[in-house]
């Protein structure tokens, strides 16, 4: 058996080992890997996903292999070619073949102050951990370098809540990938995200503040930027120091010089990935790196593979913007022609580079809408698949809101406020929703019209703050990202670091819901209990008389006679008013807070769990009886409804969520009036999204057709998680989609085509929800600390609330209206008090 030493355990080093092990079926090589980092190979391309809440362990690309001796945290320090040994701090490793996979390091330009605390590079998971730590409590950040990695780092700083600048020496962002006009479009996107670019200017010095950490960045044009955290992303350089010290030839711009077989001048030493200068050229992308790994694995087993040449085509998502470049993107081919398309409305830019006869596609650049990328990239070197304009014109989309209502339409039906009333108030100076509420009373009762108040302000051209309330300048989505990315788990820390004051009935439930969506524990644990609206606090629905209603979950509306009897017995024994709901379950009214645990003890014992009727959460998945019984049914709608309801139960969202499944096109389950509705077809399931009943009924739109059950579930997973992450407070799915730039088409591109590169995260987030679900009511019954909240009076826990009393109507208890409304307390021994 021969000894093979691999220096480096990055993505390419790992790929090489796996390729070799897979093909070395005779066991010709014993493999030892010497790795500098203490963590086995991980996906460096997705490094930034850590800031999207992805666990570092999820990035690993290493598969344990007992046949490989992986030595973590033991970097090679030297190569003795004469004795054929690699040395480390721990000892010597003899080799018959040596593969260098040392990758590259971040280039730090020779600028004063780059050694200050608070200055980082963006290369390893440890770098990212250090950046996150340093960002805590700081407000400003800067990135040196406006290339691909620099913009990724800028997005990370932005997600960490820092006001972020990017300094780029070239006159445009991403100078390697995009041309000038593409760079200009990119700049607009970047600025809209609140990142400030400084282009065509060099950084001359970083300067410390009084505490010795970096505080400012000086530019060559005399300007100075505040920067309490600086990331240097000015390019990478191959790590060729081992080869250099061993006397191996290097490439003209560094890198271990190898031939097309990836072999160095020493026939026993090979180089792969970013450290290799293949025929003198280093490649900084992972795809060419993988190609070198395959070449060397083949060669070591007697093959004759050669490096096929690098495909430098790239498509990526930077700061939420699609950017793609491929082929001769800069048009350097002699005589070539450019076809460019710039659309400020859809904010997209595209350029195709054609041969001088305009028949052959040579390359191109896409910014903003890269949906044409796969087809174009495949066409490089061949004829155009369609006329250039047809290839480049993006698909559009639009939506209408309350702005389309006529003047006489009643916007707030609780208080009889019409659009004309609201327009008059806006004309009179009401500039935000609270002001509109105060002068018209619209939205002060049930609150369901509040989103329309916002839309009317928009329609009138009143510029709205996205600030959630006076305690936070952030929108709900921004708060969600802050909490997720910074790992914040309490309201008090959030308001201390990113807000002001003590919170209110707007921001507290929003934060409680975000924390619950992120699966941070029971809603009544610790500080979270103080954030919950009364419904979430008592896990029941407050009614007008101060009593509560109780809704056990009945998945899909399917219930056994035994369970039906159990509910009936509970209702009878506690004298609860009983009503069948629209969501195919049973609502039990008239429970006092002190009765709730007793009622739920009985229900849980009978096999019920919380129905979350009290939460901004999934309510029910209604169903028709489906093909089990129905003569017309084509699928098992009940089975699917039960599965969906159990999958999404307990999922907290910006607003309540409803769903339904119909077993055929007759649509008896009314699925199209739901946030997500499913209708069976002969070929599978059709998915509809964005419907609701309620104040402004709306039919859901067809989103995807003839899905398998697995495809359907994946799409719903993504739909719900994307909604939870990005919707406004109290914005239902319909309004969310209507307000979305690009509407349903955009949603489809995100969830089906993964145009934002988010799907893996959304899928993982839903998987976490499904595995961490636990019945909230059972958890309360098992915990005395949670139970103590369910008390009528703190000083008289045995005394039921005397203000709750009932009369009977149609054989059931109902609140005693006259007595209940504005009833005076019996003031014992007091003189009569007049009000």
Partner 1 sequence: MSPVVTLDWTPVCPLDRLDLDRGVAALVDGVQVAVFRTAHGLYAVDNLDPVGGAYVMSRGLVGSRGGVPTLASPLHKQVYDLTTGRCLDLPGVTLTRHRVRCRDGQVEVRLRQEQ
Largest CA distance in the chain: 107
Q: Near partner 1 by CB under 8 A, which window of 47-55, 599-607, 653-661, 787-795?
A: 787-795
Instruction: Give the range of 78-86, 122-130, 252-260, 437-445 binding partner 1 by CB under 8 A.
Output: 437-445
345 burial via Cβ count (<10 Å: 0-12, 13-18, 19+): exposed
Name residues contacting partner 1, limited to 320-379 (CB under 8 A). Answer: none
Q: Report how far residue 278's alpha carbon sits from residue 275's, in angstroms, rounded to the nearest whole number.
A: 9
Which residue among 445, 465, 772, 807 contacts partner 1 (CB under 8 A)?
Answer: 445
Q: Which of 508, 553, 612, 656 binds partner 1 (CB under 8 A)?
A: 508
User: Could you say whether residue 502 binds partner 1 (CB under 8 A)?
Assistant: yes
Is 504 among the residues that bind partner 1 (CB under 8 A)?
Answer: yes
The alpha helices in 548-615, defined as continuous H runs, are: 561-573, 596-605
Would you say the C-alpha torsion 451, 457, 459, 463 has a positive or negative sign? negative
Under rule CB under 8 A, residue 503 binds partner 1: yes
Binding-site member from 45, 420, 529, 606 for partner 1 (CB under 8 A): 529
Residue of 191, 202, 200, 134 whose CA lies nearest to 164? 191
Smallest distance from partner 1 to CB 412, Å: 13
Q: Enter the DSSP assignment of 465.
A: P
In the bound complex, what is the minimum distance in angstroms from residue 574's beta carbon to partner 1? 19
Among 107, 629, 632, 793, binds partner 1 (CB under 8 A): 793
CB of 794 to partner 1, least distance (A): 4
Q: Does 829 bind partner 1 (CB under 8 A)?
A: yes
**Which of 97/528 has CB closer to partner 1?**
528
Among 89, 794, 810, 811, which residue sits at the site for partner 1 (rule: CB under 8 A)? 794
Instruction: Provide the sign of the torsion angle of the four alpha carbons 579, 580, 582, 583, taken in this order.
Output: positive
Residue selected from 801, 805, 812, 814 as contacting partner 1 according to rule CB under 8 A: 801
**Segment near partner 1 (CB under 8 A), from 95-103, 675-683, 697-705, 788-796?**
788-796
In the complex, the smallest distance separating the C-beta of residue 562 from partner 1, rounded to whole angstroms, is 35
Q: How far apart are the first and last CA of the chain?
A: 98
Answer yes or no whether residue 767 interacts with partner 1 by CB under 8 A. no
For partner 1, the binding residues in 536-575 under the rule CB under 8 A are 537-538, 542, 544-546
Strand 256-258 versus strand 236-238 pairing type: unpaired
Pairing of strands 2-7, 97-100: parallel
Q: Phi/psi at 50 (nearest 5 deg)? A: -60, -35
Minimum CB–partner distance for residue 42 and partner 1 (Å): 41
Q: How far is CA 789 from the centre of its chain?
A: 35
Q: Which of 302/825 has CB closer to partner 1? A: 825
- Asked if 799 touches partner 1 (CB under 8 A), the answer is yes
Smallest gap, in angstroms, from Cβ of residue 457 to partner 1? 19
Using CB under 8 A, pick the residue from 22, 304, 345, 826 that binds partner 1: 826
Among 220, 395, 438, 565, binds partner 1 (CB under 8 A): 438
Q: Which one of 306, 340, 444, 709 is in contact with partner 1 (CB under 8 A)?
A: 444
Residue 464 or 502: the one with the smaller Cβ distance to partner 1 is: 502
Least distance in angstroms from the C-beta of 550 to partner 1: 16
Candidates 627, 696, 624, 623; CA nearest to 655 is 696
Q: Determine, following the binding rule CB under 8 A, whether residue 476 of this chain makes contact with partner 1.
A: no
* Backbone phi and psi for residue 487, each to the nearest 5 degrees, phi listed first: 65, 30
Figure out which of the listed residues 182, 364, 509, 691 binds partner 1, where binding follows CB under 8 A: 509
Residue 774 has, within 13 A of its CA and on its CB side, a CA count of: 13
DSSP state of 279: T
Exactly one of 530, 705, 772, 774 binds partner 1 (CB under 8 A); which one? 530
Q: Cβ 174 to partner 1, closest distance in Å?
A: 45
Beta carbon nearer to partner 1, 473 or 801? 801
Phi-psi region of 291 (alpha: psi -120 to 50; beta: other; left: phi over 0): alpha
Contact by Cβ (8 Å): 623, 669: yes
Burial pattern 288-309, b for ≥16 Cβ within 10 A else e, equals bbbbbbbbbbbbbbeeebebee
Query: Beta-carbon neighbour count of residue 474 at 10 Å?
Result: 20
d(C-alpha 574, C-alpha 592), whole Å:
10
In the sheet with 548-550, reading across from the earlier edge strand, the strands are 541-542, 548-550, 586-591, 577-580
Name the residue nearer to partner 1 (CB basis): 710 or 796.
796
Kindly state the number of chain residues that form the binding site for partner 1, as judged by CB under 8 A.
49
Determine if 796 is a binding residue for partner 1 (CB under 8 A). yes
Given a contact cutoff of 8 angstroms between Cβ atoms, the answer to whether 122 and 39 are in contact is no
Does residue number 822 form part of the binding site for partner 1 (CB under 8 A)? Answer: yes
Of the candidate spans 137-145, 476-484, 505-513, 617-625, the one that interacts with partner 1 by CB under 8 A turns out to be: 505-513
Q: Which stretch binds partner 1 (CB under 8 A): 267-275, 307-315, 365-373, 529-537?
A: 529-537
- Which range of residues in 44-52, 178-186, 438-446, 697-705 is near partner 1 by CB under 8 A? 438-446
Our finding on whether 304 is near partner 1 (CB under 8 A) is no
Nearest-angstrom CA–CA distance, 505 and 246: 68
Closest separation in Å from C-beta 792 to partner 1: 7
Residue corresponding to tokens 């989609």? 737
Q: What's the residue count for the chain?
A: 835
Nearer Cβ to partner 1, position 106 or 495? 495
What angle (nearest 5°) sits at the alpha carbon of residue 63, between those of residues 60 and 64? 120
Stretch that binds partner 1, among 479-487, 611-619, 689-697, 799-807 (CB under 8 A): 799-807
- Alpha-carbon torsion 599, 601, 604, 605, what sign? negative
Q: 730 with 448: CB under 8 angstroms?
A: no
Cβ contacts of 234 within 8 Å, gap of 6 or more: 106, 107, 108, 109, 144, 145, 150
Are residues 720 and 647 in contact, defined by beta-carbon separation less than 8 angstroms? no
Binding site for partner 1 (CB under 8 A): 437-438, 444-445, 447, 470-471, 501-505, 507-509, 527, 529-531, 533-534, 537-538, 542, 544-546, 791-796, 799, 801, 803, 820-823, 825-831, 833-834
């Amino acid at each position: 058996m021969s000894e093979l030493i691999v220096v480096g355990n990055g993505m390419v080093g790992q790929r090489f080992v796996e390729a070799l092990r897979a093909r070395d079926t005779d066991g010709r090589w014993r493999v030892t890997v010497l790795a500098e980092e203490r963590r086995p190979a991980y996906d460096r391309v997705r490094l930034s996903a850590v800031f999207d809440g992805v666990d570092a362990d999820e990035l690993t690309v290493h598969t344990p292999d007992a046949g490989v001796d992986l030595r973590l945290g033991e970097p090679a320090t030297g190569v003795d070619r004469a004795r054929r040994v690699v040395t480390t701090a721990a000892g010597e490793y003899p080799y018959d073949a040596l593969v260098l996979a040392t990758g590259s390091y971040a280039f730090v330009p020779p600028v004063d102050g780059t050694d200050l605390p608070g200055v980082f590079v963006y290369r390893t998971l440890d770098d990212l951990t250090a950046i996150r730590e340093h960002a805590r409590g700081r407000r400003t950040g800067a990135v040196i370098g406006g290339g691909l990695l620099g913009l990724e780092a800028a997005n990370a700083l932005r997600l960490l809540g820092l006001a972020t600048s990017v300094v780029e020496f070239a006159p445009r962002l991403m100078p390697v990938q995009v041309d000038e006009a593409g760079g200009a479009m990119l700049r607009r996107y970047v600025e809209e995200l609140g990142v400030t670019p400084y282009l065509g200017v060099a950084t001359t010095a970083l300067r410390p503040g009084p505490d010795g950490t970096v505080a400012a960045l000086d530019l060559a044009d005399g300007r100075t930027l505040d920067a309490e955290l600086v990331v240097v992303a000015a390019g990478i350089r191959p790590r060729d120091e081992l080869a250099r010290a061993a006397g191996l030839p290097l490439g003209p711009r560094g890198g271990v010089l190898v031939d097309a077989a990836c072999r160095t001048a020493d026939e026993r030493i090979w180089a792969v990935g970013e450290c290799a200068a293949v025929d003198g050229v280093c490649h900084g992308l992972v795809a060419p790196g993988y190609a070198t790994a395959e070449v060397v694995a083949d060669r070591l087993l007697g093959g004759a593979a050669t490096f096929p040449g690098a495909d430098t085509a790239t498509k990526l998502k930077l700061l939420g913007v699609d950017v793609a470049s491929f082929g001769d993107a800069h048009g350097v081919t002699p005589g070539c022609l450019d076809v460019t398309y710039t659309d400020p409305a859809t904010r997209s830019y595209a350029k195709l580079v054609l041969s001088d006869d305009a028949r052959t596609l040579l390359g191109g650049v896409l910014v903003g809408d890269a949906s044409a990328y796969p087809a174009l990239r495949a066409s490089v070197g061949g004829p155009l698949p369609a006329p250039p304009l047809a290839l480049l014109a993006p698909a559009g989309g639009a939506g209408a809101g309350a702005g389309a209502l006529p003047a006489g339409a009643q916007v707030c039906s609780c208080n009889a406020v019409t659009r004309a009333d609201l327009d008059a108030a806006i004309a009179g100076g009401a500039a935000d929703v609270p002001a509109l509420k105060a002068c018209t009373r619209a939205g002060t009762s049930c609150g369901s019209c509040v989103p329309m108040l916002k839309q009317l302000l928009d329609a009138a051209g009143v510029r709205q703050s996205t600030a959630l309330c006076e305690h936070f300048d952030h929108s709900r989505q921004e708060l969600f990202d802050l909490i997720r990315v910074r790992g914040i788990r309490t309201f008090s820390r959030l308001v201390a670091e990113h807000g002001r004051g003590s919170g209110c009935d707007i921001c507290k439930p929003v934060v409680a819901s975000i924390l619950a969506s992120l699966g941070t524990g029971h809603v009544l644990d610790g500080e979270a209990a103080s954030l919950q609206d009364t419904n979430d606090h008592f896990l029941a629905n407050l009614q007008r008389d101060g009593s509560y209603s109780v809704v056990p979950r009945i998945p899909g509306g399917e219930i056994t006679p035994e369970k039906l009897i159990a509910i009936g017995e509970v209702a009878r024994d506690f004298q609860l008013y009983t009503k069948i709901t629209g969501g195919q379950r049973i609502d039990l009214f008239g429970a006092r807070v002190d009765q709730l645990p007793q009622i739920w003890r009985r229900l849980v014992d009978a096999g019920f769990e919380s129905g979350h009727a009290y939460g901004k959460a999934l309510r029910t998945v209604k169903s028709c009886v489906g093909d089990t019984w129905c003569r017309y049914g084509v699928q098992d709608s009940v089975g699917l409804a039960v599965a969906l309801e159990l999958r999404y139960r307990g999922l907290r969202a910006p607003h309540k969520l409803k769903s339904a499944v119909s077993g055929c096109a007759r649509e008896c389950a009314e699925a199209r009036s739901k946030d997500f509705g499913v209708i069976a077809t002969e070929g599978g399931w059709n998915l509809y999204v964005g419907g609701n009943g309620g104040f402004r009924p709306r039919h859901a739109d067809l989103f995807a057709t003839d899905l398998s059950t697995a495809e359907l579930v994946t799409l719903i997973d993504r739909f719900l998680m994307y909604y939870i992450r990005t919707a406004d407070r109290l914005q239902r799915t319909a309004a969310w989609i209507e307000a979305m730039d690009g509407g349903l088409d955009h949603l489809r591109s995100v969830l089906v085509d993964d145009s934002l590169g988010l799907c893996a995260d959304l899928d993982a987030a839903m998987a976490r929800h499904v595995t961490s679900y636990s019945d909230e009511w059972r958890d309360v019954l098992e915990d005395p600390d949670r139970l103590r909240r369910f008390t009528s009076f703190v000083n008289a826990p045995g005394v039921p609330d005397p203000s709750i009393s009932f009369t009977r109507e149609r054989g059931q208890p109902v609140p005693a209206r006259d007595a209940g409304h504005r009833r005076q307390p019996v003031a014992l021994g007091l003189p009569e008090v007049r009000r």
